[in-house]
Structure 1
Amino acid sequence: MSGLPLLPLLHVLLATMVVMAIGWEIQRRTRNAGIVDVLWAAAMGGAAIYYSTVGVGCNLPRLLVAMLGGVWAARLSLFLLWRVLHEEEDGRYRYLRRHWNDSQPRFFAFFMGQALFTALFSVPFLVASSKPHNPVDVWVVLGVLVWAGSLAGESIADRQLARFRSNPENRGKTCRAGLWRYSRHPNYFFEWLHWFAWVFLSIGSEVWWLALLGPLLMGASLVWVTGIPFAEAQSLRSRGEDYRRYQEETSMFFPWFPKERDS
């Protein structure tokens, strides 16, 4: 494809397949498939740093890819790692384990699928690192602002939920604190918003439009595939009527004021 070197993308796919194969073995030994999320985030950071070193673009866009992609991935992977090490297996994966009768071939295919997703999601990093010009224009400023705002929003949402879950008195209850009052999945919303930063940072590359894969794939994944549908189903299983009320009152994805419920 003109303007975009594809060999680095193949390298990321092959390297991530190896990483995910190791992750699958860790899952098999620990019975905790949450490690796949940790490795996905870490692999994304590795891809950003790798693309910044082999990218065909100028210095500034490549530096931004390494710094912004690396910081985003480090925060997310460390947060997820803490959960994997200190909590039981996520309910979504416990459900899959039961549904698949703990089929390890199915889990292996799932981990390999995440390697493919890593390569696809890393395309915006590769596009941004291919920009041929260095100027700090309005698109770069907008990209950095969106990146910073979305990272802050996701971090705040994660901390609010972690603080709520750490209180034993909240077991079986639904978090409505802070950002969770305005969206049932504010962490997912800000994660999706983060990918628009890479669209802005890619403008100037002749294939900038490929960076749209980020928000499109993440939005589809979160809203229709592995994100919200699995999380909501697990929340209904674990919190029942309390979560149904939350669904009636609170926006699913985009933050908005909660509905007043008739008593």
Structure 2
Amino acid sequence: MNTGAFLLGLAATAAAALVVLLVAFAVGVRTGRHRGVDVAWGLAFAAVALTGYALSAGHGDDGRRLLATALVLVWGLRLSAHLWWRARGAPEDPRYAAMLSRAPEGPARTRYALRIVYLLQAALVWFVALPVLAAQYTDRPPGALAWAGTALWAVGVFFEAVGDRQLARFKADPGNRGAVMDRGLWRYTRHPNYFGDACVWWGLYLLAADTPAGAAFVLSPLLMTYLLAFGSGKPMLERRMGAHRPGWAEYAARTSGFLPLPPRRTPREPRTPRTPQPPSSPRSPR
């Protein structure tokens, strides 16, 4: 790896992430809603990947550069498009409303939003994407570990895309208003999209991990996984769901919190008796 070229890539990708989040900040101030930062999240990763791809030309293997860039673009653009569609005409996200309520209204709140929401997310984008940049500057073609990472990335995108689609269809049915989604992938994990996101970033890490320089960036997927499972992802969402969604406690009691696992049996789902039943006996209600 060319150290000087890689350092230039680090600076340029940091600038790319910052530009996307600053544009999102300007839009948020103009509209009075900061939930658009979620749309900018995927776009910022796409900008980082494209910047790294352009600057790594002549320094990294072309196949690995193209693979890493394409995987980030597919993931980031799909996520941004999904979040944009979901947020159309919606009020401020309760997460950001609660976060920004800690600052007084007026210019102080605007500056607080810039620091805590936008600049922090720009830094996170850059840090989490470091393995992608390392892969782009790696001068050897993809090996078995890189292809294993691609397969793990595909598992992650499947969980994210299918989980999002299943939830959207569930919420579009008026008969499900106020109900807890417990079907499809949501039967096996309370957060298929967060689990999928973790798989995506561990997969992208494996794309770089077959070299010592790339393997050194293991903190990037570790941080993303921590945020999803223990930070601003799962815990914050579950506190809100537990407070406002009837049936959430029962769902949480039987459903894995992160890793997809078979549903646990609860007192409301008694284990089927081991003794044989006559063929004409009705099934026990569930």
- TM-score scaled by length of structure 1: 0.91
Q: Is the alpha carbon distance of 1:157 and 1:146 closer, same or farther for their aligned partners in structure 2, counting shifts above 3 Å?
A: same
Correspondence for 1:206: 212
Correspondence for 1:124: 131
Q: Is the alpha carbon distance of 1:11 and 1:177 closer, same or farther for their aligned partners in structure 2, counting shifts above 3 Å?
A: same
Correspondence for 2:279: none
Distance 1:37 1:7 in 2: 27
Q: Deviations over 1:213-246 (max 9, x none)?
A: 332011111122211111111212321x411212
Correspondence for 2:21: 20
Distance 1:231 1:176 in 2: 16
Correspondence for 2:148: 142
Q: Deviations over 1:126-173 (max 9, x none)?
A: 111111112x53223212211222111210011011111122222222
Per the TM alignment, residue 86 of structure 1 is displaced from its structure 2 partner at its CA by: 4.5
The residue identity in structure 2 corresponding to 1:202 is: A
Distance 2:104 2:228 in 1: 25
Distance 2:218 2:91 in 1: 35
* Residue aligned with 1:5, SS: helix
Per the TM alignment, residue 99 of structure 1 is displaced from its structure 2 partner at its CA by: 4.4
Q: Is the alpha carbon distance of 1:177 and 1:54 closer, same or farther for their aligned partners in structure 2, counting shifts above 3 Å?
A: same
Bigger shift: residues 90-99 or 166-175:
90-99
* Residue aligned with 1:32, SS: coil
Per the TM alignment, residue 257 of structure 1 is displaced from its structure 2 partner at its CA by: 1.3
CA RMSD, Structure 1 to Structure 2 (Å): 2.0
Q: Please show how residues 109-188 of structure 1 align to structure 2 within 5 Å.
A: 109=115, 110-134=117-141, 136-188=142-194
Q: Is the alpha carbon distance of 1:166 and 1:90 closer, same or farther for their aligned partners in structure 2, counting shifts above 3 Å?
A: farther
Per the TM alignment, residue 46 of structure 1 is displaced from its structure 2 partner at its CA by: 1.3
Gaps of 5+ in 2: 269-286
Distance 1:261 1:101 in 2: 45
How many residue pairs get matched? 261
The residue identity in structure 1 corresponding to 2:150 is: V
Distance 1:229 1:154 in 2: 18
Q: Please show how residues 1-263 of structure 1 align to structure 2 within 5 Å.
A: 3=3, 5-55=6-56, 56-100=59-103, 103-109=109-115, 110-134=117-141, 136-239=142-245, 241-263=246-268
Gaps of 5+ in 1: none
Distance 2:103 2:262 in 1: 39
* Residue aligned with 1:131, SS: coil
Q: Is the alpha carbon distance of 1:203 and 1:224 closer, same or farther for their aligned partners in structure 2, counting shifts above 3 Å?
A: closer
Distance 2:93 2:244 in 1: 12
Larger Rg: 2
The residue identity in structure 2 corresponding to 1:261 is: T
Distance 1:91 1:170 in 2: 21
* Residue aligned with 2:218, SS: helix
Contact 2:160–2:194, Cα closer than 8 Å, also in 1: yes
The residue identity in structure 2 corresponding to 1:51 is: G
Contact 1:123–1:210, Cα closer than 8 Å, also in 2: no
Per the TM alignment, residue 2 of structure 1 is displaced from its structure 2 partner at its CA by: 7.2
The residue identity in structure 2 corresponding to 1:171 is: R
* Residue aligned with 2:238, SS: helix
